[in-house]
Structure 1
Amino acid sequence: MSRRANLSLYLLFFIQPLAWGGWLVRISEIQQKLDLSPASLSTAIVAVPIGLMLSLAFASRLYARWGVKRSTASSLMFFLIIAPIPVFASSWIALFIALFFVGFGLAATELGLNVAADIVEKRGGRPIMGTAHGFWSLGLLTGSVVSTGLAWAGISAGAALIVLAIVSGMIAVWVFKNLPDLTSQVIENENNKTKNRSFYPGWGTASISLFAFGIALGEGAMADWAAVYMTDVHAAPFGTEGLGFVVFAVSIVLARFALDRVRGYMTPVRIGVIGCGVAMVGVTVLVFASAPLFSYCGFAMVGVGLAAGFPMAVTAVASQPGRSAEAHVAFLSQITLCGQLLGPLLIGFTAEVAGMQFSFMVLIPVLVMSLLLAKQLMPAK
């Protein structure tokens, strides 16, 4: 696989989440605009993983039939068209519907990107999954920083997301012209691994997916609630409430870019165990933080701790025996999206009872589960 193809893939990972990052730091603004309680906001946000799960129910077969390049291009363009719409919602139901379609497009796009990265990694014979997801996190961070900067300048959330979506779309058109067609590899995997159209994951795939479930629940909680946390706990001024998420995202970016190098001298199991431990310490800091500086440290620790989880899970699950890589990755994605589904609900409803700051404590049990399952991260031979 040529260096040019690798760079094209990295660029796709970068541009896909730009608009999504712009949305995440504006959540508290939309909450205030619609006068939503934490519980109401959480039930609206849960529309995203619902859309994600329904999309993944048939996405792997779509990719097997259309190929990675064509399917990813179509899914990405749909996602970019729909991404700015939630900020224009005038009611809870309108927000829920808009976020459902955002999740629908997001799932199909991310499935294609992960399958493409797995194919490139196997063909090239060297780890690239961490770097690819590092670019994804960098795109998420870039979108959040740009959107936060535009908020400081008084630019509306709608205008900010439209700009990010248009820029992403223009770059995507150019990138897809330079990305090789991976359809033949997908079809070969689909036809040669098994003729059975049903997919029943073994313990390997299921346990890796459960590991990623805890990681995803933590990531989803940080993404959806970091800005609200800073507003409620520390009364962050307008335009600065997104800085907690920015710190979290920066930490993930730096850790993921270092991941492929770290994998050279540390096993995936050890990386997973250490990461879960660091994330739990970070959550504890957030629960007891008495000043914004301590909270920023907590967000940074959670980001570093969670960063390696999903990229390593994709690599491990794609090597499992049975159906093709996209089928395994689709199952992994469905389970992790369940984590994203439960994360907003757990945080939102706990915040209603115990307050926003203490609500993050519900992440500890699932991170303990991920720590115990980290031993499953060694790729199958």
Structure 2
Amino acid sequence: MTVYNPRKATLLIMALFMLQPMAFGAWLAMIPYIKVSLGLSKGDLALALLGLPIALIPTLQLASRVVAKIGPRKTFAILLPVQTCVVLLPFLTSGIVGLFMTLALFGAVVAFLEVALNTYAGRLEKSANLTIMSRCHGFWALGVMIGSLLATALFGLGPILAVFLVCAVSGGTGIWAGLSLPRLKGENDSASVKPQKLREMPKALFLISMFVFAVTLAEGAMSDWAAVYLAERWGSGPEDAGIAVSIFAGFLAVGRFAGDFLKRKLGARGVARLTVGLAIVGVACLSIPSGVPAIFIGFALVGLGVSIGFPLGISAAAGLDDTHEAQNIATMAMIAMSGFLVGPPFIGFVAEAISLRVALLVLFPGLFVAFWLTRIFPTLESTADQGESSPR
């Protein structure tokens, strides 16, 4: 049996969770520049931004098969350099169609890397009996923040060079980290459980998925429109507007790093209600006429509010069944990630018709539904009772 150091494996996979999305963060910071340079309206930009999630979501199924065949290490070594090249294509295109196609290619590449990240982290949790997934996703949010900050800081060198430098350094370091990952026990197992049919899946799975979908709706809207919103409200140029993404992603990371602690103190239902409540207050800060400080507070609160919806959903979906955890998680993730597909363009269309500030109001119904759905999660007391009644 291969012996490996769980601490080394944990540090390396967490580093990869941070390094991979730095390219995505750099791209988010450049959206206002792309909008201006291509002369796109908000509606045109909304359609073009659909390219990334439209390609990413269906590619996940293909990616899962490829990653299972070649392994996460080879996936990182092959796809991280490709990501560095692909993220530059939006700067070399013209018009809405070209931007849509380049973002679709970017989304397809990201799908493979995301599957590789979560596959290795899941295997490591099982083989070493660790709980690291929430912190891993915290490092992912931190990577988005660092990427957007660096790209904004390097904007004076030129937008293409700024993004290239961020992606080249993070990608090169990521290749080394990926190839250094130790091989885990059971990595080559091919045994699989017969998948459930749709009617056989637990009903609670779809309620959990609806909760996470409503949360990711707000997360996707903030990711794509935060910088554009700040540029309009603050009156600053594209080179400064990327700070909005940095604030949002930074507090998203803080929430995820604190998620495990808060869940132990408040229970899954308590932390779900707290965070969704913060998201509602944050959107309110962004929707009312206010100054720049209130806008920054709004981005921070929304970042905290949407931070642990996805990790909570993964834990709840996995806990529904002892034999179909992977399928439950995959089903939940597919539905949840549709929020990234629906949210940003819908916000863009409303913003085109009215204004971006008013468009953010459409996030309220989904967040109120998510708050109501928090009842699907166990309370701290019920979790404790279940633990006491379980056999030791």
Give the TM-score of the pair, scaled to structure 1: 0.91
Q: How does 1:65-76 map to 2 (within 5 A)?
A: 65-71=69-75, 73-76=77-80
Deviations 1:275-297 (A, max 9, x none): 11110111011000421111001
SS at match of 1:266: helix
Report the residue type matching 2:276 in the other structure.
C
Q: How does 1:78-89 map to 2 (within 5 A)?
A: 78-89=82-93
Report whether the alignment pairs 1:141 with 2:145: yes
Deviations 1:192-246 (A, max 9, x none): 5x23486764323322222211121111111100111011222123421112221
Report if the CA contact (8 A) 1:38-1:351 is conserved.
Answer: yes
Percent identity between the aligned chains?
A: 32
Q: Give the CA deviation at 1:163.
A: 1.3
Deviations 1:47-96 (A, max 9, x none): 11101112023333333434444445544443333122112222211111
Q: Give the CA deviation at 1:12.
A: 0.5
Report the residue type matching 1:176 in the other structure.
G
Q: How does 1:234-253 map to 2 (within 5 A)?
A: 234-253=234-253
Q: Give the CA deviation at 1:14.
A: 0.5
Deviations 1:228-273 (A, max 9, x none): 1011222123421112221111211222222222232221221111
Q: How does 1:187-266 map to 2 (within 5 A)?
A: 187=189, 191-192=191-192, 194-196=193-195, 201-266=201-266
- Matched residues in 2 for 1:70 and 1:146: separation? 27
Report the residue type matching 1:221 in the other structure.
A
Report if the CA contact (8 A) 2:72-2:178 is conserved.
Answer: no
Aligned to 2:18: 14
Aligned to 1:155: 157
Aligned to 2:305: 305
- Matched residues in 1 for 2:322 and 2:144: separation? 33
SS at match of 2:157: coil
Aligned to 1:33: 37
Report if the CA contact (8 A) 1:68-1:186 is conserved.
Answer: no
Q: Which moved more, 1:281-290 or 1:238-247?
A: 238-247
Q: Give the CA deviation at 1:126.
A: 4.2
Report the residue type matching 2:370 in the other structure.
S
Report if the CA contact (8 A) 1:285-1:295 is conserved.
Answer: yes
Aligned to 2:365: 365
- Matched residues in 2 for 1:295 and 1:274: separation? 20
Runs of 4+ off more than 6 Å: 197-200
Structure 1: runs of 5+ lacking an equivalent: none
**How many residue pairs align between the two structures?**
376
Report if the CA contact (8 A) 1:84-1:165 is conserved.
Answer: no
Report the residue type matching 1:172 in the other structure.
G
Q: Which moved more, 1:19-28 or 1:198-207?
A: 198-207
Query: Aligned in 2, Cα 1:116/1:201: closer, same or farther, shift over 3 Å?
Result: farther
Q: How does 1:276-315 map to 2 (within 5 A)?
A: 276-315=276-315
> Which structure's CA Rg is the greater one?
2
Report if the CA contact (8 A) 2:17-2:143 is conserved.
Answer: yes
Report the residue type matching 1:241 in the other structure.
A
Q: Give the CA deviation at 1:323.
A: 6.1
Report if the CA contact (8 A) 1:19-1:143 is conserved.
Answer: yes
Q: Which moved more, 1:233-242 or 1:160-169?
A: 233-242
Aligned to 2:177: 175
Report if the CA contact (8 A) 2:80-2:175 is conserved.
Answer: no
Aligned to 1:101: 105
Q: Give the CA RMSD over aligned residues.
A: 2.4
- Matched residues in 1 for 2:286 and 2:203: separation? 34
SS at match of 1:36: coil
Report the residue type matching 1:17 in the other structure.
P
- Matched residues in 1 for 2:33 and 2:316: separation? 39
